[in-house]
Structure 1
Amino acid sequence: VTPRAGQRRSTPPMPPVRRIELPGAGPEDVVLGADGLVYTGIADGRILRVDIATEGVEVVANTGGRPLGLCAVGDGSLLICDAHRGLLRWTGTEIEVLVGAVDDGPLNMASNVVGDPRDGTVYFTASSRRWPLELWMGDLLEHSGTGRLFQHSPDGTTATLLDNLQYANGIAFAPDRASLIVAETAAYRLNRYWVRGPKAGTREVLIENLPGFPDNIALGSDGLIWVTLAAPRNPLLDRLLPAPAIARKLLWRVPDRLMPRPARTAWVIAVDHAGTIVHDLQRDGADYAMVTGVAEANGTLVLGSLDESALGLTHLPS
């Protein structure tokens, strides 16, 4: 395990986080829309539009499920991964289901999504075949390896590009859009999947042995891939990683008060196209914690969280 996993703040630390309170909990992902405003989805299904300058918050839609990863499209629409309903699109006036089922049944735990503006192809992840969002820790304990990367084409067909991923999560285009960067939360790594060029259709590891659990990721205005680390690595989970599946499943018999809990922290990193860490920003989670979404624009960082009832706002250190 990397020594960085045991540290609780970066050098320099992440600057203080300003909270923008929301009318509900769990803004799991954040994206910047074509209108310059921030969009997020909260636990009760509502999609919110937030002006970070005025702190104004407006409800624009409701998925009827649990929205997670988002992607803002240039025409003003929004692609939405909904843990209960699948891959959705908000047109600006209504919610439509793009993918509600795949070959083996209903699409479970759609996690994050990105659209290619050149041809309309949509790429998205699903974290687990076995576990619902409400029991996400079960997948990490079991290490089920049932996450997937999908491609949804403009003709309406959906294909599996990668299978057996360890809790597939965040997805973003590399700056040249020749490849996708895909986070595997339970494997502590980022993968590169080539969609164009001589390596098209192949996968390689971009960065591994991350010091925390990577969640949503996003391409920043600086050309870097911004990665949220929702929590530091857990020593118990690391010890269980090579253990037989039956040993990991026995943890479900442990009283809830003794189960491993994510340590409270606010943590994001940024990596370049080669997987080199350019920024590492962490602070204690006293005011804001479990960062699962990030959007960067001109040095400003907008943060989302599976647990908080607010967005977080911070910036690159001077």
Structure 2
Amino acid sequence: MVKLLFLLVAISFVLLFSLTDFSGESPKHGESMMSVHLPDFRLIPTTGASGPESFVFDISGDGPYTGLSDGRIVKWLANDSRWIDFAVTTSTREGCEGPHEHQRTEHVCGRPLGLAFDKSTGDLYIADAYMGLLKVGPEGGLATRELDEPLRFTNSLDIDPRTGVVYFTDSSSVYQRRNYIGAMMSGDKTGRLMKYDPNTKQVTTLLSNLAFANGVVLSQNGDYILVVETATCRILRYWLNDTSSTTTPESRGNYEFFAERLPGFPDNIKRSPRGGYWVGLNTKHSKLTKFAMSNAWLGRAALGLPVDWMKVHSYWVKYKGNGMAVRLSEGSGVISEVFEGKNGNKWMSISEVEEKDATLWVGSVNTPFAGMYKI
């Protein structure tokens, strides 16, 4: 009977995958739609590896820099139109590079995700999914670990330019990145928002029990932090000054909901120089995702099946994925702008949008290229 139940669950998942409507949510009236049509959208291959998750520019404005699936951090040389190696997060590099399935070796080779430069020193801080929180000097090379605290799934970070304090996320205390679908399907809520002070070497947990803690960004004036909860499709605002927190039914101590019911699964979040925040949505909502989010038992039951759900998800994203990005307003967190490919130019997923000099750099954990789009 148990095997029959599992079989029925598996069949249900297959049917839902095949019948999914990927039209997704449409922007509401008054929102700005930025529809992208090639060749306006430039694709920049990431030689030797894939998955440029996040972007950052150094204190001189050079770059961007991004982390790749083989554990390297590379730098874009605009004048030469090419990437060069900048840093690695582990000295164990045998078998890391070259054409193979990097997901199978990333726990050994490292998988750099979030990046941020310390403006006062020029050091690059790195959130590596397996190696933890690391730092490398302005000249690059081998990054060194900043803290010994065991982290299961380090994901994103941001730095307070006034104090040098690093805010970062640990997505799960149970699942690693190579099985992040398990964290999503199981309803895992062991994610954390954390704080690291390089001066005192002290680590503090600011928020816990988060459903896949992901992107994190400090507000322009440094009075709050926004942290993404991917599994719940919402963004929390954590007040660094308790007196700044508003007293609303949604408030929970010194944090509140900044944005809810986003039209897809949010990944990274970055400030926009035009105001507000860009949020990359890994993929838009569909009948499947809406059904799964309201029936958590289905995901937990499916995890008991002899199925490689990471591989299933990989195929699904490749053939059915539909990533987009939204820019949220500074104060209220409402959608003010939408970035989305149209007419066959859709991205399978979008992890981040970094805006600089009227240019959008678009990242994805699934593609062997970065995107560049002139506004």
- Does TM-score exceed 0.5, indicating one fold? yes
1:251 paired residue among 299, 302, 309: 302
Question: More strand per residue: 1 or 2?
Answer: 1
1:147 paired residue among 170, 182, 191: 191
Moved more, 36-45 or 92-101: 92-101
TM-score by length of 2: 0.76
TM-score by length of 1: 0.89
Name the amino acid aligned to 2:210.
L
- The 8 Å contact of residues 222 and 298 in structure 1, kept in 2 or not, is answered as no
Q: Is 2:354 the partner of 1:308?
A: no
CA, structure 1 residues 248+289, in 2 after alignment: closer, same or farther (shift >3 Å)? closer
Q: Is 2:170 the partner of 1:126?
A: yes
Q: Is 2:336 the partner of 1:278?
A: yes
1:83 paired residue among 112, 129, 142: 129
Q: Aligned residue for 1:21?
A: 45
Gaps of 5+ in 2: 1-21, 91-109, 246-252
Q: Aligned residue for 2:6?
A: none
Larger Rg, first or second structure (1 or 2): 2
1:191 paired residue among 236, 239, 247: 236
- Give the SS at the match of 2:134: strand
Name the amino acid aligned to 2:339.
L
Q: Aligned residue for 2:58?
A: 33
- Give the SS at the match of 2:155: strand
- Give the SS at the match of 2:244: coil
Q: Is 2:90 the partner of 1:46?
A: no
Separation (CA, whole Å) in 2 of partners of 1:227 and 1:116: 20
Gaps of 5+ in 1: none
Matches within 5 A, 1:68-217: 68-74=113-119, 75-92=121-138, 93=140, 94-101=142-149, 106-153=150-197, 154-196=199-241, 198-199=243-244, 202-217=254-269
Question: More helix per residue: 1 or 2?
Answer: 2
Q: Aligned residue for 1:219?
A: 271
CA, structure 1 residues 266+14, in 2 after alignment: closer, same or farther (shift >3 Å)? farther
Task: Figure out how many residues of one structure are paired with residues of the other and give that number.
Answer: 308
- The 8 Å contact of residues 288 and 312 in structure 1, kept in 2 or not, is answered as no
CA, structure 1 residues 287+237, in 2 after alignment: closer, same or farther (shift >3 Å)? closer
Cα deviation code 1:19-78 (max 9, x no counterpart) = 111122111111122222101010111110113454221101111211011112213221
CA, structure 1 residues 174+25, in 2 after alignment: closer, same or farther (shift >3 Å)? same
Q: Aligned residue for 1:56?
A: 82
